[in-house]
Amino acid sequence: MVKPGDEPRFVSQIYNEAQRMIALVEDIIKLSHLDEGAQDMTYEDVEVLPFCQSIVDRLQAKADKSKVTLSLQGDATSLHVIPQLFESIIYNLCDNGIKYNKENGKVDITVKDELDFVTISIQDTGIGIPREDHQRIFERFYRVDKSHSKEIGGTGLGLAITRSAVTMHHGTIQVASKEGEGTTFTVRIPLSYIP
Ligand code: ATP
Ligand code: MG
């Protein structure tokens, strides 16, 4: 039905739309699994710095493409976590730090051992988040810049998954941001949880 010359463009559009659908379905499955309590997922001890380093390595190509520098530093410490969920937390926050940054920007990941808990902060030099949106960004599908969300990509579920995964670990997540200057997300996970 299409002219031969138009084929590559249509094929690539179909491919991109299919990828968006797959990402959306995967995120919805993840969230409903969390909503149900993720009972089947098991806790393991992870070394926080090497764990974060492997996520940084996976995001390196994306960061290079956006001319953003990733760096990881802090205390060598371990945490008892559900690795798949802990991965979602760090990955989503670093991914946002890259996506909502500026050319020649930075994303710094800092791990701190604070005796009873571990703090992981992800600080970027990006576009920042208006004060009135700080609470709303954790809602499902909420996006600050609705007009450009399609070209930026993603499902708008990243922070909803992140917050739910943090809560599952009895932790907290906080955001501090200044428009035009950058954003810091701080995740605190207790070493042990006594109900
Ligand atoms: P996805 O995570 O599914 O790829 P997303 O990044 O749009 O999509 P969230 O991670 O849930 O979704 O973030 C929600 C919104 O919060 C984003 O669309 C963006 O407007 C804003 N936001 C999140 N992190 C940052 C950040 N570090 N700097 C500026 N804005 C941010
Ligand atoms: Mg995101």
pLDDT digits (tens, 9 = 90+) for 21-49: 999 999 999 999 999 998 899 999 999 99
CB 92 near ligand 1, within 6 Å: yes
Taking residues 153-162, what's their average pLDDT?
Answer: 92
Distance 143 CA to ligand 1 centre (A): 6
CB 123 near ligand 1, within 6 Å: no
38 or 184: which leads in pLDDT: 184
Q: Please name which ligand lies nearest the alpha carbon of 162.
A: 1
CA distance 191 to 181: 32
Pocket test for ligand 1, best of 100, 136, 155 (most atoms within 8 A of CB): 100
CB 137 near ligand 1, within 6 Å: yes
Question: Which two three-digit tokens encode residue 179?
Answer: 């428009």
Least confident of 35-44, 120-129, 165-174: 35-44
Could you tell me what percent of the chain has a pLDDT over 90? 86
Where does the chain show beta strands of DSSP type E?
44-47, 68-74, 78-81, 105-113, 117-124, 172-178, 182-190
Taking residues 158-174, what's their average pLDDT?
Answer: 97
Atom of ligand 1 nearest to the CA of 154: 4
pLDDT reported for residue 125: 98
Distance 88 CA to ligand 1 centre (A): 14
- pLDDT confidence bin for 73, thresholds 50/70/90: very high
Question: Which two three-digit tokens encode residue 57?
Answer: 């390595």
- pLDDT confidence bin for 195, thresholds 50/70/90: low
Could you tell me what percent of the chain has a pLDDT over 70? 99
The pLDDT tens digits of the residues spanning 95-118 come to 999 999 999 999 999 999 998 999
The C-alpha angle 177, 183, 188, rounded to 5 degrees, equals: 95
Question: Which two three-digit tokens encode residue 16?
Answer: 């991109």
CB 157 near ligand 1, within 6 Å: yes
- pLDDT confidence bin for 147, thresholds 50/70/90: confident
CB 74 near ligand 1, within 6 Å: no
CB 158 near ligand 1, within 6 Å: yes
Half-sphere exposure (Cβ direction) of 35: Cα atoms closer than 13 Å: 8
